[in-house]
Chain A
Amino acid sequence: MSHARWPVMLWLLVMVVAIGYLLTHWRMVNDLTLFLPEEHSAEQRFLLHQMRDGSQTRQLFVRLSGPDDASLARHSDELAHRLDDTKAFSQISNRTPTLESLVATKWFAYRYLIDPQFDMFRFTKTGLKQALSARLDELRSPAYRPFQSLIPPDPVAAFRRWLQQSHGDSPFQSRHGVWFDNEERALLIVTTEAGGFDLDAQQHAVTTIKQLSERIDSAVSVDIIGAGVIGLATRDTIRQEVQYLSIGASFAVVLILLLAYRSAPILLLAVLPLSSAIVAGMVVSIGVFGQIHGIALAFSVTLLGITLDYPLHFFSHRHSSESSAQTMHRIWPTLLLGVISTLAGFSIMAMAVFPGLQQIALFTCSGLVAAALVTRWVLPVLASRVSLQGSSISALPRRVRAPRQWSLLVLAFAAMVLYLDEGVRWQDNIAVLSPAPERVLSKFQALQPSQTGSPDSRLLITADTVESMLQLCERVLPQIETLHQDGLVERYVAPCQILPSASRQRVRQRHLSDVNGISNAVTQALHDMPFKPTTFQPFIDALNRSAELEPLVLDDIRHTHHGRLLESLIGKDGEGVTGQIMLYGATNLTSLQNRVRESADLFVISTHQAAQGMMMQFRQELTVWLGVGIAVIATLILLVTRSLHRASRVLVPVLTATAATVAVLRIMDVPLTVFHLIALMLVVGLGVDYSLFFQRYESSQQRGGTRHAITVCAVSTGTVFGMLALSELPILRAIGITVVIGIILAYVLSYLSQESSPANLS
């Protein structure tokens, strides 16, 4: 074997081992939570927990449309039973529980311990007399007829008060016993065990529902909506888009390279660094994370398109008077500086708050290193026998004479645009994190049952245990009631309204321990009343039993209707428990916040405001890291050139292009998101690459090669990202538009900034 060929053999060996590793360890996931930021504060932790695993993200709305209400109701029940039999779902609901079914639950046995307005006065002779008179009046009204059977076991109406305050009413209308939505469709709510972003689990859930619903009447049509379904539709769109874009981009790049080099062998060799980069990225990602995310893979492969530039620099600089090794040796320092600059840019994503972006950073950085190594040591060996005849390198135009102050003029224009338009406009809506296309989101938002309202703000209670959270909730509830009385809150739902703390239940047990005394009070209260003397024996029996009960806890009632409602108000994670008091119609958030500020364990958050604040914080962090990235690149170039003047000649076109990209986006009225910032980092990386080559010290013949290389690079990269700009996916579109504008500006400004005595970057 020739000494020069060992890098090729080593590369082949590494590729074989890497592909073998991928075949045995390949694991791709589609959990979209990787693209949610990691939480910082308690509010953010809660908010993101709700987004990842909140009951709303796990709910699927199954709607049945058909000929008549009666048959729809029958099919709704049938489907609910079938789904229940699978044991695959945590909850299936299609009807509000009847009073009879509620009386059969543990809640009824605990009615005197969970009464939201417990007052010992009710158990005195006077209190009981008042209660019995009230019940007598109610017996005259058909409106209270459903509660008639509850009078003997509960004359003080404790259970009824609890029912009224525990918010167990369904927002849906009920016909033939089952729920219907406003569009006359029978409605089932199926709650999955897995979070809405676990797309594989959601796919399984949707398939199960569809399979079971197919067995019911063919005249009944079934549709399913919910966060999981949006996720699945988004995944399908991403798959389709990535497929179309990959084919389109590959075709476009092949065409550009064939036009530029008119050589099939060069075309084949040009893809080696890119394909090696993709394999390396996959191996490192799976090695570090144990899996690879579908979207991370798609985005990384897109970003690694930059590695296609490396062989292009090499081929464009080649000429017949030198060997391929000599060509590589000549351009390597500049190429290496470009690689390091791009590495610095991409590695910034590792600092991002999204684990998905961290995976993209690792994938792309390892890919860049692999592509650089293959370009440096493998490509020259394989390209040594490739003929350059037919190449159109010399056909490219020579340098256009233009004022060197172009960059400064453009920079001034960008500054003026941003100044006149009141600076950069940011989009801090958390919805931008969603990879779902607007078409998919708006379709499902329109289908969502309108009855499912969400609160304006929430009061969060953090504690170590559910019990301590409930105790804190009980302490703050009078304040909330005052806010309600003052008109600051229209209505509220609190976990301790459904289940009082165990300590409060024990206190009530102690109060109710004198059952004989209460029994005597009943006898006295019955004087002059038309009730038969033994009517209230079930009441006395219930009081006797209440004294002996173990306090009711969440685990006892988890699978009841109200238990599930309670669970939806409680979030648990490794750091403790967060209870939420839902505040509806909250008009003055600041006043609310001031009133509850006394306790460090309480936070009032507006879901919308908190999400926006979180996004703003993440964006500010990313902006800082973007600045750090640019500073690192600038320092690197300064160290290499050892001259402020020379470094500025490389950097000014790049920074101008970056600023002008922001200005153009402002003119286009595109608000910036975190994804635009990431794309800007890529623009800086690519721009530095172009500028470095344009500013190299070269002969006029070498200049031709440089212009050819950078033109082909810019055209191919611009074409690929131009395709992304046409994507339906907001993230891809944001990256595509930004990079296309940035590349055009970086190319033009770097080109115009060439000088007759360029900086010596060799």
Chain B
Amino acid sequence: MVRQLRRWLLCGLLMVSHGGMAADLVTTIFSRLPASDSVVQPFTEIRHIAFLEVPLISHGTFRYEAPSTLVRRVNNTDETFTITKDQAKITEADGVTRQVSLDAAPELRLFSVLIRGLLSADRALLAGDFTLTASGTIDQWQLELTPRHENRIQQIEIVGSGGVPSQVTLIESGAEKTIIDLASTAVGVNP
């Protein structure tokens, strides 16, 4: 009985120390991620959608400009998101502008928070909508973002090395997922 209790205590201590290490790792990862007011990040997006027989692949760049502008360029067409508090102004490739309440489009909200938070290394912004946990080492880390509120995006996994995130996976409901490969290093301006 006493031996069993010791075993449980040991497990508890290990879990606590692991959690403490994970919290430290999150801090370390964000301290390594480059923070800049303006950054351009190339990407390849692979979307696995339930009603498509093959994944949907797009190549493009994200351009982030502080405090709240995110431009997503795919196949040489620009789609600009300007985020102001809870509103997103979306200028589509054909120049049509739409105003979307991020509260009414929670997926869009999480997506914009994710990319902005990652490119600007803004942990506080991410922590507003996700709980953050990390595993691995600083040389080979995995960051897990779980939405604080129920959403079609169930979890986001980011893998990276040092201050460079390499892949983002959005796990969505209905066994769908989106993989964003951040193949090349982001180009920062005004670091």
The residues in A between 174 and 191 inclusive whose CB is less than 8 angstroms from any CB of B are: 174-177
Asked if B74 contacts A143 (CB within 8 A), the reply is no
Asked if B49 contacts A139 (CB within 8 A), the reply is yes
Asked if B107 contacts A146 (CB within 8 A), the reply is yes
Taken together as a complex, chains A and B put the C-alpha atoms of A95 and B103 apart, in Å, by: 10
Asked if B74 contacts A177 (CB within 8 A), the reply is no
Q: Is B92 an interface residue (CB 8 A)?
A: yes
Asked if B79 contacts A530 (CB within 8 A), the reply is no
Interface string of A118-162 (1 = CB under 8 A from B): 000000000000000000100111110110100110000000000
Which chain B positions have C-beta within 8 A of A139? 47, 49, 52, 56
- In the assembled complex, the CB of B103 is this many whole angstroms from the nearest CB of chain A, namely 4
Asked if A532 contacts B52 (CB within 8 A), the reply is yes
Q: Is B81 an interface residue (CB 8 A)?
A: yes
Which chain A positions have C-beta within 8 A of B112? 142
Asked if B53 contacts A99 (CB within 8 A), the reply is no
Asked if B111 contacts A173 (CB within 8 A), the reply is no
Asked if B101 contacts A142 (CB within 8 A), the reply is no
- Which residue of the partner chain A has the closest CB to B100? A143
Taken together as a complex, chains A and B put the C-alpha atoms of A151 and B52 apart, in Å, by: 11
Which chain A positions have C-beta within 8 A of B92? 141, 143
Q: Is A523 an interface residue (CB 8 A)?
A: no
Taken together as a complex, chains A and B put the C-alpha atoms of A243 and B54 apart, in Å, by: 81
Instruction: Apart from A139-B47, A145-B111, list 15 A-B contacts with CB within 8 A.
Output: A95-B103, A98-B104, A136-B56, A139-B49, A140-B47, A140-B58, A141-B79, A143-B81, A146-B100, A146-B104, A173-B86, A174-B101, A530-B53, A530-B54, A532-B51
- In the assembled complex, the CB of A107 is this many whole angstroms from the nearest CB of chain B, namely 16
Interface size class of chain A, counting residues whose CB lies under 8 Å from the partner chain: 20 to 34
Q: Is B36 an interface residue (CB 8 A)?
A: no
Residues of A within 8 A of B (CB): 95-96, 98-99, 136, 139-143, 145-146, 148, 151-152, 169-170, 173-177, 530-532, 535
The residues in B between 61 and 97 inclusive whose CB is less than 8 angstroms from any CB of A are: 72, 74, 79, 81, 85-88, 90, 92
Taken together as a complex, chains A and B put the C-alpha atoms of A530 and B48 apart, in Å, by: 12
Taken together as a complex, chains A and B put the C-alpha atoms of A170 and B45 apart, in Å, by: 33
Q: Among the listed B54, B104, B107, which residue makes an inter-chain contact with A145, where contact means beta carbons less than 8 Å apart?
A: B107
Which chain A positions have C-beta within 8 A of B18? none
Which chain A positions have C-beta within 8 A of B58? 140
Which chain B positions have C-beta within 8 A of A136? 56
Query: With A143-B79, A143-B90, A530-B52 known to touch, is A169 a contact of B99 (CB < 8 Å)?
Result: yes
Asked if A532 contacts B79 (CB within 8 A), the reply is no
- In the assembled complex, the CB of A567 is this many whole angstroms from the nearest CB of chain B, namely 22
Q: Is B7 an interface residue (CB 8 A)?
A: no
- For the complex of A and B, list the 6 residue pairs with the smallest distance between their C-beta atoms, beginning with the closest: A174-B103, A535-B51, A174-B101, A146-B105, A142-B111, A140-B58
Which chain B positions have C-beta within 8 A of A143? 79, 81, 88, 90, 92, 98, 100, 108
A-B contact pairs, 13 of them (CB 8 A): A95-B103, A96-B104, A99-B105, A140-B58, A143-B98, A146-B100, A146-B105, A170-B101, A173-B86, A530-B52, A530-B56, A531-B53, A532-B51
Which chain B positions have C-beta within 8 A of A175? 85-86, 103
Taken together as a complex, chains A and B put the C-alpha atoms of A176 and B58 apart, in Å, by: 32
